Amino acid sequence: MRNFFYPGRSVTYGLNGAIATSSAHASQVGLGILKGGGNAMDAAIAACAVQCVVDPMQTGIGGDCFALIAPKGSSQIEGLNGSGRAPSALTADLLLDQGISEIELTSPHAVTVPGAIDAWVTLHAKYGSMDFADILAPAIEAAENGFAVTQRTSMDWKLTEEKLSNNAAAASLFLKNGKAPGAGTVWKLPKLAQTLKAIAKQGRAAFYEGELAEKMVATLNAAGATHQLEDFGNCEADFVDLINTDFHGHDVHQIPPNGQGITALIMLNILKGFDVAGLDPVGAKRLHLQAEAARLAYLARDIYVADMGQADVPVDMLLSKEFADHLRSHIEVGKAGDPAGAGAFDKHKDTVYLSVVDKDGTAVSFINSLFHPFGSGIACPDTGVIFQNRGAGFVVEKGHRNCVAPNKRPMHTIIPGMVTKGDKATHCYGVMGGGYQPVGHAHVLSNIMDYGMDVQEAIECPRAFYNAGVLELEETIAPEVQQELADMGYTIKAPEMPHGGGQMIMIDHENGVLAAGTESRKDGHALAY
């Protein structure tokens, strides 16, 4: 329970519906749809579309989307992988012949085909109840008539000025006189509004076929990419069989590889072999065990996680008790492990995650991302679309499971989460933050199941991230704890910004109550009715 003597947020409770996003505007739009008779999927798509406008560095229609759905709150979770693929002409040999051994974050070769719009249309066709044009209407209105930039968004936008300045189209869309808008500034995206209008009217075809697709392909080709119109036309989201593990009597569900959700499950399997509940939740011993679990799980991720349609990924082995025991045996309690091969990316990523539950109990865990802030930094001037840089998740190493190849999906960081117990969904959740996400998932679930925190406490709890040999500690972690961790052998660093951003809705089936929490590290709100 929250201590009201300290700053913080209260849990948001409701009986008929709830939504939690990292944008106040998106949450308001989603709640309005729920109260107006729309369902959880209608609200999720509408809220996400709004965030593609008002948080343009965090997400966009030039990115990807994953979702988990619990129909009517059941434990029969369904999942969609809406990640795009490499263009059909992109090969490792082509890159190596050009002297490229690593796909840089702003390289045109980092641009995979945007999967978000196809994912939205696919999800709407199966689960939606409203007209698709009505769902996109709030986003169109915000792009066309303007929105007020919020505080955290303005900070993130400011950090991208140099990146945006390197692309004339991106600078014209997202900067004014070379500067990002400050908090409270009204900003418009008229080109994006026109593209969204076309999608609202013509559906998927407006984005992946015809004039808009031709303009996007032309932009990418001019930048040096190998995309063809057929690459856009062939984009297709997939419903997938989920992976899961047991954690303290609950089943934790994730999208299978190419997503990195399996990394969170490996972490949980390692951690449940320790008496975490007996440790101080913000003490050195707990953070040490979490760091060691992350070190080993991320090593496994970087060796094994890839597109299962083009690579052999031994999922059963990775989720086995024997593998967790093996990894746990390489943890020396009280001592930092060898960071060699930790393999976590050394820069943070941007994403939006949202959670929605409607009056029928259907829960939607929904995540949409450009990967890094403003993705590749390459924008199409005629459509207002800025392209993701997911292809930087590939390696250029022939024989590696995750080596770049035609029509292949890269190792992907965005991971929606869902927890069930018995025949019911209990927690619809996610934690944004690129490479941090598996740690965030494990941290938040452990906060609830090991320490009995409510959803808001679990999200607000101070965070640490073992990242490429460095333990990044938020400044809310006590100095004496930081020193104790340093004494264990960790290289301690303060992150530039707080770690990630989470949303969660807990479903209390017995009492018929929804409990929603949102991220104090972002601009978001949890709303319910």
Helix (H, G, I), strand (E, B) or coil at 525: strand
Cα dihedral sign, 374-375-381-383: negative
Give the separation between CA 50 and CA 391, rounded to whole angstroms: 25
Report the run of H or E that residue 26 belongs to, with start and end: helix 24-35
Helices (H), 394-493: 437-449, 455-460, 479-487
Q: Are 388 and 64 in contact (CB under 8 A)?
A: yes
Instruction: Give Cβ neighbours of residue 106 (< 8 Å, ≥ 6 apart).
Output: 163, 166, 376, 377, 378, 389
- CA 223 to chain CA centroid, nearest Å: 27
Given a contact cutoff of 8 angstroms between Cβ atoms, the answer to whether 208 and 236 are in contact is no
Taking every pair of Cα atoms in the chain, the longest distance, rounded to a whole number of angstroms, is: 63
Cα distances (angstroms) measured from residue 518 to each of 331, 356, 498, 527: 33, 12, 14, 9
Active-site residue, from 122, 160, 351, 420: 351
Q: d(Cα 368, Cα 119) in Å, to the nearest integer?
A: 10
- At position 35, the amino acid (one-letter code) is K
Structural tokens at position 185? 């500034």
> Which residues are within 8 A (CB) of 5 and not within 5 positions of it... i.e. 6 or more apart?
none
- Which residue in 183, 35, 206, 192 sits closest to 120, CA to CA? 206
**How many CA atoms, within 13 angstroms, populate the side-chain half-sphere of residue 147?**
26
362 is catalytic: no
From residue 160, alpha-carbon distances to 11, 66, 88, 376 in Å are 33, 25, 30, 11
DSSP annotation of 307 reads -
Closest CA to 191 of 65, 57, 53, 59: 53
The per-residue DSSP string of 106-127 comes to T-GGG-PPP-HHHHHHHHHHHH
Which residues are identified as catalytic?
A: 351
